[in-house]
Every structure is written in C-alpha cells, then in structure tokens.
Amino acid sequence: MKRGLRELGVICLLAMVPALLAAWLQPKRPPASGADSIASISVGQASALGLGQTVLWIDARPEAAFKAGHIPGAWRLTEGDWETLLPHVADAWSPAAPVIVYCDHLTCDSSRQVAARLRRELPIERIYALEGGWERWNQARKK
Amino acid sequence: MEPSPQKVAVGLTALRWLLAAVFLVAGVSKAVDPAATARAIAHYHLLPAWLAPWAGWYVPWLEISCGLALLSQRLRTGGWLLALLLSASFAVFTGSALLRGLDIRCGCFGPGLGSLRLPWMLAFDLALLLLGSFGLQQRLRLSRGDVRHPDQ
C-alpha cells in the first residue's frame, strides 16, 4: 500500500506538468471567477429599473425552488434544461427590455452562468445578475 | 471454485483497460475546453469560486494521468488508487448535487458528451467505484504475492 501511495503522489505531480503547460499556452482559459463578466444589480436598482419599463426576470434556480416561489412574471431558465426552456424565454424577451437573472442567494453562481450563456445566444444589450438573488429579494419585500 | 490465475489475469487486464479508456476519454474531452470544465465544476457549488478554474485545469490532466498510469507497468498500483479516489470524488459531487436538488448536467465528459443526467451519472460513478475498488484489491493481492499471474 505504501508503494501505491508513493505512486499516487508521483502521478499527481506528473499531472501538474501538462496542466500548468496547458494553463500557460491554451487559449480557452477559465475565467478567474468561473463565469463570464456579468454586471450585478441590487434589488433597489432593479426595482428602479422596472419603474419605467418592462424587465424580463429569469429564475436560474431548480424547478422545485421556482415552484415554491419566484419573482412575479419570472421565467425559469437553467443550464440543465436549457434547450427546453430557452424558446419560452426567447418568446417573452423583447430587444428593448433589460434582463435580470437571479439564483438563490449571494454565493450562488448559476445566475451569472445563465446570464453569460444567454448573452452569448441572444443579442441582449442589458443583462444583469441580481445581487443576493431570491433571498435578498424576499428580504427586501418583507421590509 | 476459485477461478484460475490466468482467468483472473485476463479479467483484471480487461478491467484495467476499460477503466483506463474511460479516464482517458473523460480527461481528453475535458482538457480541450478547461473553461467549460471550470464552469461545470463551479455549478456543483462545492468548491470555493476561486478554486474552480484551477480544478478546470488540473482535473482533466489528473484523469489522463490516471488512464496512462493504469496502462503503465511501473505506476499501475498508483493508477488503481487514483481511479478509486477520482470515482469516489465524482460520486460525492454527483450525490451531493442530487441531494441538494441542483438542476445541472454533470459535465463529466466535457462539453460534448457531458449532457448525462445526474442520476445516471451517479450510477456510472458508483459502478466505476466498485470496479476500481475490486481492481485495487486484486492488484494489492498480487503485490503481496498471494496470487501470481501475468498481470503482475
């Protein structure tokens, strides 16, 4: 077993060499945060944005969470069900409307992932990730 | 009745090649797009956000190294051990995502082949885990000299 552990250490070290080389040379570098750069918007700013125009809300949470409660008028869109849900979102979207994507809470990242992919696939000019997500929205609503 | 050492050797070699092929395919398909791999890892919300891009670089090459070690003569025991550890880690990631109700795809075979649903992937990971632990157990038996056969 000792020999196996020693070999394991050698393999893990050997794997670092091509990984570091690839990190140095390869063009498809992972972004530092794991997501493309998407602007954040606070609940207050989002409410102000929605006063003069229609905002398209996108809920990037699992179906069960969406069914338990969501921002009124929001459309669900997740990476897992992208192909099924995107046509509904595309129908609801108009080029003039800003899009705000939210997930569960401050540390969740799916809103940024969905927003980044949405921006790549639709010609959306203004797209934001809601800071604090559904949790912050709920807190603000109860105040 | 105990199978003959030759039969055990053939079975173990076939299992080793199968696992090596799985890890090589999984590793190469992820290594070509580390950004997609980093995103897939980040979706599990188990690692800090700053660590996911680094895992996006390292995990594919760890899988490729595991496949190559299983095919090699000198690092074979370490290869079995790494196969077991990787399968266990994947099962933990997939199982925890299922328990938390995350609505994500596994990303286990890169962006091209990675559209498997989590329950299927968990079954696949558990099968790999079983095969890996069986292979490691046999390999350690051989190393101890309990059985002698050509796979040694």
Give dist(CA B76, CA B1) in Å, integer. Answer: 28
Backbone angles phi, psi at A57, to 5 degrees: -90, 135
Does residue A34 register a pLDDT over 50? Answer: no
Query: A73 with A130, same domain?
Result: yes
Query: A26 with A64, same domain?
Result: no
As for how many domains chain A has, the answer is 2
Q: Within a 10 A sphere around the Cβ of A130, how many other Cβ atoms?
A: 25
B115 touches chain A (CB under 8 A): no
Query: A44 with A23, same domain?
Result: no
Angstroms from A49 CA to nearest CA on chain B: 29
Q: What is the ipTM of this complex?
A: 0.81
Please report the number of interchain residue pairs, chain A to chain B, with beta-carbon separation below 8 angstroms. Answer: 126
B141 touches chain A (CB under 8 A): no
Question: What token pair was written down for A50?
Answer: 């929605």
- Which CATH number characterizes residue A103's domain? 3.40.250.10
Query: A82 with A138, same domain?
Result: yes
Which residues in chain A are contacts of B61 at CB distance < 8 A?
Answer: 15-16, 18-19, 22
What pLDDT was estimated at residue B112? 55
- Across the interface, whether the CB atoms of B34 and A79 are under 8 A apart is answered no
DSSP letter, residue A134: H
Cβ atoms A114, A60 nearer than 8 A: yes
In angstroms, how far is the first alpha carbon of chain B from the final one? 22
Query: A24 with A57, same domain?
Result: no
Cβ atoms B28, B67 nearer than 8 A: no
Identity of the residue in B34, B65, B79 whose CB atom sits nearest the CB atom of A28: B34
Give dist(CA B122, CA A59) in Å, integer. Answer: 26
In a domain, B57, yes or no: yes
Query: A5 with A50, same domain?
Result: no
Give dist(CA A11, CA B69) in Å, integer. Answer: 7
In a domain, B149, yes or no: no
Which residues in chain B are contacts of A5 at CB distance < 8 A?
Answer: 78, 81
Query: A122 with A55, same domain?
Result: yes
Print the domain residue range for A16.
Answer: 1-30
B67 touches chain A (CB under 8 A): no
What pLDDT was estimated at residue A105? 75
Print the domain residue range for B69.
Answer: 5-144
Query: A60 with A91, same domain?
Result: yes
Does residue A36 register a pLDDT over 60? Answer: no
As for how many domains chain B has, the answer is 1
Question: Within chain B, which residues score under 50 in pLDDT?
Answer: 152
Question: What token pair was written down for B127?
Answer: 């099968």
Task: Tell me the range of A23-27, A65-69, B35-39 where mean pLDDT is highest.
Answer: A65-69
Nearest residue in B to A108, CA atom: B45
Query: A45 with A26, same domain?
Result: no
Cβ atoms A59, A75 nearer than 8 A: yes
Query: What pLDDT digit, counting tens, does each position of A89-143 carry?
Result: 999 988 888 999 999 876 577 888 899 889 888 888 889 999 888 988 988 887 7
Which residues in chain A are contacts of B66 at CB distance < 8 A?
Answer: 11
Identity of the residue in B35, B62, B103 whose CB atom sits nearest the CB atom of A62: B103
What pLDDT was estimated at residue A59? 95
Q: Which secondary structure element, helix H or strand E, spans residue B60, and what is its range?
A: helix B52-71
Give dist(CA B31, CA B35) in Å, integer. Answer: 9
Give percent helix, percent strand, percent coil of chain B, each to the nearest 5.
Answer: 75, 0, 25
Question: What token pair was written down for A67?
Answer: 């069914």
